Structure 1
Amino acid sequence: MHEAFLVARILPFRPAPSPYPALDYLVPLPFSSEIQRGRRVRIHVKQRRMEGLVLDLFPLKESKFQNLKSLDEVFPSPALDEKQINDLESVARFFGGRLSNTLDLALPSRVKNVESRPWEDQKWSGKNEAALCNLLKEASGLYSGLSSLTQSLSNFENQSFVWDLAQKRGNIFECLALLGLLSKKLGYSFLACLPSDRFFDQAKNVFSTYGLDPLFVGSSLGKAQNYASFLSCCKGGAIALGTRRAMYLPMKDPCLMVDVNALGQAFTDGMAPYANVRDVLSIRHKNRGGIRISISYCHAAEQEKWLREKTALHIFPSSPAPLRPVCFSRDRLLEMGDRFVHLPSLLVEELRKNGNEGKKSLLVCPAGSDITLFLCPKCSAFMRCKCKGSLKSKGKGIFCSRCRKRQNEWVCYKCGATIPSYGLVALKRGPEHVKEELKGLLKEKDLKNVDVSLASSIDQRPYSLVAILDAWLSFFSLNLDAESKVLNSWMEAASLASEKVILIGEGQKELLSSFEGWNYVFPAWDLEEKRKAGMPPFRTALNIWGAEKEVQKSVEEVLKVLKAPEGEFEVMGPMPIPNSEECLCVLLVSLPFADGLGEAVASVSHLRSASGAHFWIDPYCFGCR
């Protein structure tokens, strides 16, 4: 075979809803020595220049097409290897999507001058050795099961771990630094995905303390830095931290991959469902082996299933929490004669005491509670739009949260009065509301020692007292893991306290038991409840939405491909989507038939994409998109 007659099958970088298929291009003689599978190239598609990825190379005589165009350029950036391409293809198959979608998320924008920068390998140093000894000694006293992890790393085993954090401030970043040091010493690549890039500075400070200089990847960073991190990972042995933009980084084997679900908020960056961190890292680990760790304060039902099936080992606190949270329900407060359920008198007294002693206190409001409601000035009823949507404010204007309509006047549904926008009474909720209340309860010097924060954005700083407010408002979510995420956020807040933790609100007794005792009663109970109800992780949810007829046809075609018998699936819907002409249908499929759901959706969505039917496989969301 002569080199001049090579053909490259190239996938253009154009994601859904209108992706291009893989196309054949001639490889010019000057590029034949450097072209290889996984290289990024420049091509012309319909007179438009775009980038693409080489999926295959073969002789010209094997191509089904004639009069092929030549590719324009082969970029000097490193090629993705077979395992990295296999990772991307596996994720696309799992979610019933296309490789072009995962490529759009996985490959950063090229920056020419970055490709010529020299790359320096970080050597193991005496500072690293001393830091590793200190961290290992401290962590061994905090965690049972840590010896299993170090043994698996030393023996280069294929193993998964569920790591529940102890009640100790800063423990998350110290644990990550310990894993980074172990990876560096033993020759592993290390990848950790954090929920948000606002934790980068703190992680960088902790890592630098122990002699580590990690790479960072996130949407808040520039294209050059993200691309430089990508290139460094291609060369192997990298220590990388990032948001879910980092979960597709081309890590070399052996690899240690970590997802951090302990910081009270959802992951940022990316497009669902291809950016489901826990699933993507699990798929990559299944493909390539190595060590996979999921870090949280209290694991979820999915992780409990891993432990029961013994596909994962457990690293858990070896001693009870030093502080036992005190929980006050509405009934308990009323029995004590405290009428102020939102900010009880006992809590205000604690804040005053801490303020007098110069100690810091933290009040935590439920995630999503930072809203402003509007009242009628005549009858004090909540104002609504004609479509029954609540009113919201943005800038100087007021609009309907449902139909998005802006008006200068609003009609009260209760008393019928017409009120101009400037005449509505604003009622603040969340941190702003709490701060306003505290101004009338505490002196100014005491207020300076009180921080008020949302559960989704807690600063990792030390506090004497931590109080969680309005706990009953934390559960207003359709996500199947909502309660586990709430428990994680409560534990995250409690880990910052040095003297006292107070919770004001309600919750299931199993959830409160896990919070008060820092144990794992709730995940086990939650898993059993989901098994009885036939919910994920025992069944996988496929959401299909679009025109009603197309949705019904799509459901029938998916079931035809799956060949699942009666009793192994359940169809819920179609249900109308508010303020839309579309409807939603949820198909719940039991294992093992759910394992083939991705490929079934890929074949059906290819046929029905022109009809407007949309598909989304998500094991954790139920009827949400």
Structure 2
Amino acid sequence: MSQCLLAAEILPFRPGPAPYPPLDYAVPPDLAPYAKPGARVLVHVQAKAMEGLILRSFPAQESRFKKLKPLDSIFPVPGMDEEGIREVRAVSEFFGGHLANILDLALPDRVQYVEKELSCPAEWSRQNQEALLRLLPPARQAYSQIPDLEKAFSERGNQSFVWDLAQGQGRIFEDLSLLALLSKKFGYSFLACFPSTNLFARLKEAFDECGLSPFFAGSAEGKAENYRAFLACASGGAQVLGTRKVMHFPVKGPCVLADVNCFGSGSTDGIAPYANVRDVLSIRHKVRGGIRISMAYCHGAVQEKWLEDGEACHIFPALKPRLRPACFTRASILESGDRFLHLPSFLVERLRKNGSEGKKSLLVCPAGSGTVFYLCPECSSFIKCPSCGGAVKKEGGVPTCRSCRKKGGEWECRKCRKTFPSAALIPLTRGPERVRQELKDLLKDEALRNTEVAVAGNLPQKPYSLVAILDAWLSFFSLHLDSETAVLNSWMEASSLASDQVILIGECQKELLSSFSNWNCDFPKWELQDRKRSGLPPFRAPVSIWGRGGEPKKAVEEVLRLLAVPSGKAEVLGPMASRRGEELCMLLVPPPFSASLGGVIEKLSGPRGKLQAHFWIDPYCFGCR
């Protein structure tokens, strides 16, 4: 140590899970010039080789320890700068998670041959300029507030935007290309997160036409491609598009952080969950500044709160929608004398006509509609759980409540109040495979070839003459908070693919139908007020707590004690039965007590925590664990 004048505080994070706190290491003199905060290093912890990140460097005599192990090596690759470290700390503190787990997500495994390919970002080109001149005038005509967006770029402003997409085939690809072009022109990195890779093929074509060379990252992209995207992002000036995987990627210099159609996009990383793209990017933007974009066909209640509080500027369609959907409820179909509710006769006739004229048609089934639900044999209403009101689906061959896990036995119909054994319930099987089977009996070869069936949220990105959304009533079984907004966006995405007609079969909430029919934001305004009355997020911070043998209840009491929440100020939902014999509680914490929630959860869920419960701050789903 006498030869080492410099020490570094290093957090080991890989291989994970890494339960170690930050540790002090001596920096050998030959490595001292490179021992900067954010550098990736190799160290040994209890004789185990681990990758770590330098959080700070300081004179060796200031260390708390008399003897320091030397760090092994410093990787000659981009890691994080001090701003990036502040970002991941802020995310960790908000979600009550472990910093090492976020670093494991943010810094992918090295691929050494990819490091040799690293090159500087391309300069602004003539092709870029021509593409910008082609896309910008139509965008100014189609949307309000585009001048504010241009001003934020040119003046290097710190601004958030909520962008509702206009109706039209290919609109989303043009708008994302425009954002990437503006980012490149004014020297910004562009990082955009998507719920899936469904749009990537078309996005690559659109970006190539504009002279852009985007990098893609996601679980399906492969280790080398993900590392290539990380290096481009960490070097600055690149356009990186990815799934949830990229939301923690470090970015150098000014940056545009965008989420696209990310409603309820959540998962876990093995130790603690860092739930949704929207909040992670917003936390990062508050730390680093730059431009924040939340793009969707129709924004959600949280984004409506941003607009209401003046935290974001609203970019919305300035023109009336070209197509208005024709909406048919089950009651109206039956009143017309048509007894075919799933594929009405008028729709089949239109499919036949389109097929004979060589026009393409798309039938859209609700996401998850392949699940078997049950109907009352007396009145044909959906069977709900008599205990908790949850949806009943087929699981393990028997009717099972999705919420409280009640299996088999007798079920009472909430509409006609009659009770039936499980064997008497009528199973309802829908979904794309069932629709395709029915079409084979209804359409001739030519019409059948011109009719495609897809699931909402995973649609072929190509134009159709007719788009019909089937079985709309099967779209509303999810428990996650933004489920109705996600359904609305999937319908609007589908209708954007149509050139002649859009048909909706089924019924839904009138505010949601208004937003769909008129292409406006009536629904998020109504939903925000509904959440305010109900005390749901964003007005109270939710925490999922689950475990065995009464542990969730103990955890709730401990959280409330540490937060010093007065009696009656917080609301507890549960405990309710969950999977594998566990119990689940939902705790709703009001401000200002919610500001300290992350720190309390981190303390209780750490390696030295006495509780056996598990925590998830801001879950995207009230029934998750």
With the length of structure 2 as denominator, give the TM-score of the two structures.
0.89
Partner of 1:381: none
Per-residue deviation, residues 596-618 of structure 1 (Å, max 9, x unmatched): 21112112222764542111001
Partner of 1:385: none
Partner of 2:182: 182
SS in 2 for 1:55: strand
> Aligned pair 1:573/2:574, yes or no?
yes
Contact residue 245 and residue 269 of structure 1 kept, 8 A: no
Distance 1:241 1:482 in 2: 24
> Aligned pair 1:474/2:475, yes or no?
yes
1:453 Cα offset (Å): 0.5
Partner of 2:163: 163
Distance 1:522 1:119 in 2: 46
Contact residue 19 and residue 607 of structure 2 kept, 8 A: no
SS in 2 for 1:542: strand
Per-residue deviation, residues 476-528 of structure 1 (Å, max 9, x unmatched): 00011110000000000011000000001110111111111111111111111
Distance 1:526 1:103 in 2: 35
1:261 Cα offset (Å): 0.6
1:455 Cα offset (Å): 0.5
Letter in 2 for 1:455: A
User: What fraction of aligned residue pairs are identical, expressed as a percent?
Assistant: 55
Partner of 2:325: 325
Per-residue deviation, residues 202-221 of structure 1 (Å, max 9, x unmatched): 11110000111112111222
SS in 2 for 1:13: strand
Letter in 2 for 1:475: F
Map 1:526-605; keep pairs closer than 5 Å.
526-580=527-581, 582-605=582-605
Per-residue deviation, residues 261-309 of structure 1 (Å, max 9, x unmatched): 17x9947896773251100100011111111011101111111111111
1:565 Cα offset (Å): 2.3
- Structure 2 stretches of 5 or more lacking a match? 376-391, 403-407, 412-419
1:235 Cα offset (Å): 2.0
1:157 Cα offset (Å): 1.1
SS in 2 for 1:144: coil
> Aligned pair 1:37/2:41, yes or no?
no
1:9 Cα offset (Å): 1.6
**CA distance change for structure 1 residues 221 and 617 in 2, over 3 Å: closer, same or farther?**
same
Contact residue 146 and residue 315 of structure 2 kept, 8 A: yes
**CA distance change for structure 1 residues 472 and 113 in 2, over 3 Å: closer, same or farther?**
same
Contact residue 9 and residue 57 of structure 2 kept, 8 A: yes
Contact residue 363 and residue 468 of structure 2 kept, 8 A: yes
1:229 Cα offset (Å): 2.1
1:33 Cα offset (Å): 2.3
Map 1:423-438; keep pairs closer than 5 Å.
429-438=430-439
**CA distance change for structure 1 residues 45 and 4 in 2, over 3 Å: closer, same or farther?**
same
Segment drifting more, 324-333 vs 190-199: 190-199
Distance 2:540 2:31 in 1: 49
Distance 2:277 2:551 in 1: 31
1:16 Cα offset (Å): 7.2
Partner of 2:405: none
**CA distance change for structure 1 residues 28 and 367 in 2, over 3 Å: closer, same or farther?**
same
> Aligned pair 1:509/2:513, yes or no?
no
1:67 Cα offset (Å): 3.4
Partner of 2:10: 10
Partner of 1:240: 240
RMSD: 2.9
**CA distance change for structure 1 residues 412 and 293 in 2, over 3 Å: closer, same or farther?**
closer
Contact residue 275 and residue 620 of structure 2 kept, 8 A: no
Map 1:316-355; keep pairs closer than 5 Å.
316-355=316-355
Contact residue 10 and residue 54 of structure 2 kept, 8 A: yes
Partner of 2:380: none
Letter in 1 for 2:531: K
Letter in 2 for 1:484: T
Distance 2:43 2:395 in 1: 50
Map 1:222-301; keep pairs closer than 5 Å.
222-261=222-261, 266=265, 273-301=273-301
Partner of 1:380: none
SS in 2 for 1:198: coil
Partner of 2:453: 452
> Aligned pair 1:82/2:82, yes or no?
yes
Distance 2:601 2:345 in 1: 56
Letter in 1 for 2:541: T
1:15 Cα offset (Å): 7.8
Distance 2:265 2:561 in 1: 35
**CA distance change for structure 1 residues 599 and 122 in 2, over 3 Å: closer, same or farther?**
same
SS in 1 for 2:37: coil
Distance 1:34 1:9 in 2: 14
Please, which of 390, 394, 402 is the counterpart of residue 394 of structure 2?
Answer: 390
1:416 Cα offset (Å): 11
Distance 1:193 1:576 in 2: 34
Per-residue deviation, residues 199-251 of structure 1 (Å, max 9, x unmatched): 22211110000111112111222222222222222222111111111112221
Distance 1:29 1:43 in 2: 16
How many correspondences in the alignment?
Answer: 594
SS in 1 for 2:4: helix
Per-residue deviation, residues 27-47 of structure 1 (Å, max 9, x unmatched): 222222221111111111222
Partner of 1:463: 464
1:619 Cα offset (Å): 5.4
> Aligned pair 1:151/2:155, yes or no?
no
Per-residue deviation, residues 40-95 of structure 1 (Å, max 9, x unmatched): 11111222211111112223322222433222111111241111011111101010
Distance 1:114 1:416 in 2: 58
Distance 1:260 1:58 in 2: 41
Per-residue deviation, residues 301-322 of structure 1 (Å, max 9, x unmatched): 1111111111111111111110
1:160 Cα offset (Å): 0.7
1:144 Cα offset (Å): 1.0
Distance 1:317 1:602 in 2: 43
Distance 2:421 2:596 in 1: 56
Segment drifting more, 337-346 vs 14-23: 14-23
Letter in 2 for 1:390: K
Letter in 1 for 2:249: L
Distance 2:212 2:338 in 1: 52
**CA distance change for structure 1 residues 477 and 416 in 2, over 3 Å: closer, same or farther?**
closer
Partner of 1:521: 522
- Structure 1 stretches of 5 or more lacking a match? 376-387, 393-397, 404-409, 418-424
Contact residue 399 and residue 422 of structure 2 kept, 8 A: no
Partner of 2:101: 101
**CA distance change for structure 1 residues 416 and 289 in 2, over 3 Å: closer, same or farther?**
closer
1:594 Cα offset (Å): 1.5
> Aligned pair 1:615/2:615, yes or no?
yes
1:17 Cα offset (Å): 6.1
Contact residue 118 and residue 231 of structure 2 kept, 8 A: no
Partner of 2:218: 218
